[in-house]
Structure 1
Amino acid sequence: MGTSNKPPKLLRMEDYPSWADKFETYVQTINYDAWEAVEMEYIIPRNENVTTHRLSQIPKAEKPRFLGEKNMMNLFQQAIKSEIFQLLQHNGSCHSIWEALLNNDRGNPNMRKSKIGLFKKEFDIFVMVKGESMAQLIERYCHLVNEMKRLGIGKQEYEHFHKLANSLSDEWKLSL
């Protein structure tokens, strides 16, 4: 969830979609300059020993981006569970970390195509499960629709209404 002092924590990759929105809002609220490090890649200058320059060695014009990168890295380290952070493939910049999280969530093109096919099929066969309450049905349906939107699967509004209405068990349908 996060607080005004701490960013929301990503504990499982499955939580990435909802966490990403909260995290982005949190960072932009507390330090917009740090968020710019995510949007525009910045590679921290290194000296001849391939170590980071001291702050006093960074050119004055470059200091805001340097500090933004460092602040953002600090926020990432606070917000992302270390086991997840270690598995990300990135070049060390905040921009590449954000892209790695995004790519990890989306998957490679073949996996993405497979997910899209799976969710389209799940939408087509969606029905009320025996013993399921209306609240459970709606919660399951909303989750399905949100996942489809996240993957870019568009449906017309009337298709959503018809699918939900047709998914009801016979005991919920009106007889004519």
Structure 2
Amino acid sequence: MEDKEVSTNKIPRLLGQENYIKSKVLFEAAVNYNDPELWTSITEGNYVPSTATNNSATIELKMKKRDDNALSMLKIGLSWEILTTINHHKTSKDMYDAVIDMFKSNTEPRDIKKDRLKQQLDRFKFKDGERLKSVLQRFTVIVNDIRTADQQISNFELNKKLMSSLSGEWHLWPRT
């Protein structure tokens, strides 16, 4: 296999619990696209230190280099706060497993955030004297947050909510 250079600006960040699923999928896709063997090293941990003969020493060295590259790619993809808590792991598989465990084990904040976003959407209303542009901006922020939190809501439901939130005094068409 030829070593290929991987651009670090193409590696998505593993952000945290609130974006865990999206981040995980994008990170996996980027690493796997750039170098499938790195992804294998991360998920299967193909580096195992051992006492070696000359031929197996060469193979072990290549595997160690691949795992070091995978470990570096993981570190690049992590926020500083996450990296400092799991930086003690010495193989890419161990570090990746620690990240996944960290994100999976803390589902309560995600559930709380989803509930809060649902409540924000339910309470969304047009404010007296508010311009349509402002209403749409506030609504778009809530919708984007909901979609980022992997909540499923149809466009029909969103449109219905937006239209029902408009004030009875607010007219789309000028009176003639």
TM-score, normalization: structure 1? 0.61
Q: Which amino acid aligns with 2:95?
A: I
User: Is the 2:13–2:76 Cα contact (8 Å) retained in structure 1?
Assistant: no
User: Is the 1:41–1:95 Cα contact (8 Å) retained in structure 2?
Assistant: yes
1:154/1:99 Cα in 2 relative to 1: closer, same or farther (>3 Å)? farther
**Root-mean-square deviation (CA), in Å?**
4.3
Aligned length: 165
1:155/1:36 Cα in 2 relative to 1: closer, same or farther (>3 Å)? same
In the alignment, the residues of structure 2 paired with residue 172 and residue 27 of structure 1 have an alpha-carbon distance, to the nearest angstrom, of: 51
- The answer for the alignment partner of 1:37 in structure 2 is 41
By how many angstroms is 1:34 displaced? 0.6
Q: Which runs of 5+ in 2 are unaligned?
A: 1-5
SS at match of 2:38: helix
User: Is the 2:126–2:166 Cα contact (8 Å) retained in structure 1?
Assistant: yes
By how many angstroms is 1:73 displaced? 0.7
Matches within 5 A, 1:34-113: 34-38=38-42, 40-42=43-45, 44-46=47-49, 57-58=56-57, 60=59, 66-88=64-86, 91-105=89-103, 108-113=106-111
Q: Which amino acid aligns with 1:160?
A: L
- The answer for the alignment partner of 2:119 in structure 1 is 121
Give the fraction of aligned pairs with identical amino acids, expressed as a percent. Answer: 18
* Structure with the greater alpha carbon radius of gyration: 2
- The answer for the alignment partner of 1:143 in structure 2 is 144
Q: Which runs of 5+ in 1 are unaligned?
A: none
1:74/1:99 Cα in 2 relative to 1: closer, same or farther (>3 Å)? same
TM-score, normalization: structure 2? 0.61
User: Is the 1:128–1:137 Cα contact (8 Å) retained in structure 2?
Assistant: no
SS at match of 2:44: coil
Q: Which amino acid aligns with 1:126?
A: F
